[in-house]
Amino acid sequence: MLSTMARVNVELKARDPTPESTLARCIALGAVDQGALEQRDSYFTARRGRLKLRNGDEGSELIAYRRLDSAEQAESTYVLAPVSEPEALSEALDAALGTVVVVSKRRRLFLWEGVRIHLDEVEGLGSFVEFEAVLPAAGHRAEAQAKVNRLRAELGIDDGALVSAGYADLLMDGPQALRRAADSAMRNAYAPYSRFKVGAAVRGGSGAIYAGANVENAAYPQGQCAEASALGALVASGETAITAVAVVAEKLEVCPPCGGCRQRLAEFGGPETPVYLGRPGGTPVEVTLGELLPGSFGREALRE
């Protein structure tokens, strides 16, 4: 859990095919122009949620946050920590955790009734518009949500423009990031009996990636599959939902989950959850949990 110092935003992000028009609409709406900002966000491997070090015109700060991947408006809970020596901190975080991706952007910032309007030009991705209704400056949750909906209508944002993932995820290429995590875990697998190493990685609803490897035991039934290890890490970190899965094996190009693991994954994902099979670098074989386990037995069967 994030601390009691955590702040909350109501957020919405969308691609912006007409940035000049969006800028004109912001001005016509009466939003207050705060000028342009240059920002560089370095993302590091995080056990819970996301962790980034921001360097920009407003100074440097470490930001830990959680936000569900959703195309619709969603709440983001975050903690900010001002940083006086960003280069040294970045080096330490990279050495201890590893840098995942760096996002560079130019942001035009507007303020409207407690809502931050970001008109972003993201290097490698293009133009976006983002709303952050800061609580309680934008009012209580219902008021903040209503303001975001009004801004979406005023700026003419269509459903097809909405984006569920953050800039870091869009740059990373989700399947490759998951397969790299699974491959790294596979190399640490404990498989002295079968000599068949497997790695798995799942992405939680917060965007964090949890990886695991198979762990064998001399008493064979006590062994654990890689998927079970990854799900254990997910649950231990406080999450109970997955949005994507990757499975890799040392001796096979494609290694689908066993029957038991398909049921384990179905407990935390849905029929539409993508499963990427295959080693990093190549083209993954993509299936869904529904295709792997049709007619699955789920929690709905246990409801009275």
Question: From CA 13, how far away is CA 19, in angstroms rounded?
Answer: 14
78 touches 65 (CB < 8 A): yes
Question: From CA 177, how far away is CA 195, in angstroms rounded?
Answer: 25
Q: Tokens for 285, please give them.
A: 């074989």
191 touches 197 (CB < 8 A): yes
Q: Catalytic positions, please? A: 227
What is the length of the chain? 304
By CB atoms closer than 10 A (0-12, 13-18, 19+), residue 99 is middle
Strands (E), the chain: 7-15, 32-44, 50-56, 59-67, 74-82, 99-112, 115-122, 126-135, 198-204, 209-213, 242-249, 274-277, 285-288
- DSSP-assigned states of every residue in 230-259: HHHHHHHTT---EEEEEEEESS-S--PPPH
Phi, psi torsion values for 178, nearest 5 degrees: -65, -45
First to last CA, the chain: 31
What is the greatest pairwise CA distance in the chain?
71
Question: From CA 144, how far away is CA 135, in angstroms rounded?
Answer: 7
179 touches 280 (CB < 8 A): yes
